[in-house]
Amino acid sequence: MSGQDRRAAIVKAVLPLFARQGFANTTTKKLAEVAGVSEALIYKHFPSKESLYAEIQSLGCTGKDPGLEKLTALDPSTSTLVYILYYFLRSVSIGKCKESINWEMRHRMVLNSCLEDGSYTRFLFQNRVSDCFKKMVKCIEASIESGDMVPSCLPAENRIRFAHHVAAMIAMMHLPAQPVIDYGVSKQELLHQVVWFALRGMGMKDEAISRHFDPKALELFFGSGAA
């Protein structure tokens, strides 16, 4: 195995361990065990545990989601905001997206990161979702200008962050084998409710929501791979 392939194999093998235990509670001895190599070989490819963790951080931000790229290329508008928000919250709450780290492991990494120094989560926000957030800010501004959304003392950035946090917490309620909360609906219907709640909380008017937010149409559009 080449050096590059070995590095990639080590990262892939230890990722679930970091996701379950966090950075501080994971020893290099245990990392070597799960990777099926010696500690010396770990250090040959990664000078420290921190450098291995940094490689995992980078992995979480590699590649581009083609669906999201096409959506963020659209002109800012109320309609564009609904489509991007639906796609974004879908990836957060039920994990339907193209990601280098699977949905469950990403959320576990985020949780453990926030219990420690927050470096993984901070890196993720700065390098993975910042472009999406910037586009949604422009869409909010366009929606306010068109009269579809009410002005607010809340910064547009926080309107988006709060929407993300709701979806992220719902996702975390589903991490255990038996979900913490039974919302009484399917995951798809739960997503629809989360998006409606987010749009309303962000200040979109009822008439605009009725005009632009069609759950069945969005489900068909994204389910068909049209994005």
User: What CATH number has the domain bearing residue 26?
Assistant: 1.10.10.60
Same domain, yes or no: 109 and 8: no
Q: Which two tokens stand for residue 22?
A: 């966090």
Domain that holds residue 46: 3-59
Same domain, yes or no: 53 and 86: no
Same domain, yes or no: 70 and 54: no
Same domain, yes or no: 50 and 99: no
Same domain, yes or no: 172 and 198: yes
Question: Which contacts (CB < 8 Å, 24+ apart) does range 187-194 have?
Answer: 187/93, 187/94, 188/94, 188/219, 190/93, 190/94, 191/86, 191/89, 191/90, 191/93, 191/94, 192/219, 194/89, 194/93, 194/166, 194/167, 194/170
Chain segment 140-159, per-residue pLDDT in tens = 999 999 999 999 889 999 99
Same domain, yes or no: 36 and 12: yes
Chain segment 71-129, per-residue pLDDT in tens = 888 999 999 999 999 999 998 998 866 666 788 888 998 999 999 989 889 888 887 78
Q: What is the dihedral of CA 101, 107, 109, 115, to 10 degrees?
A: 170
Q: Which two tokens stand for residue 190?
A: 């739960």
Same domain, yes or no: 55 and 125: no
Residue 80 burial by CB count (10 A; 0-12/13-18/19+): exposed, middle or buried?
buried
Q: How high is the pLDDT of residue 64?
A: 62
Q: Rounded to an integer, what distance in angstroms lies between the CA atom of residue 81 and that of residue 87? A: 10
As for how many domains the chain has, the answer is: 2
The residue assigned the tokens 């508008």 is 77
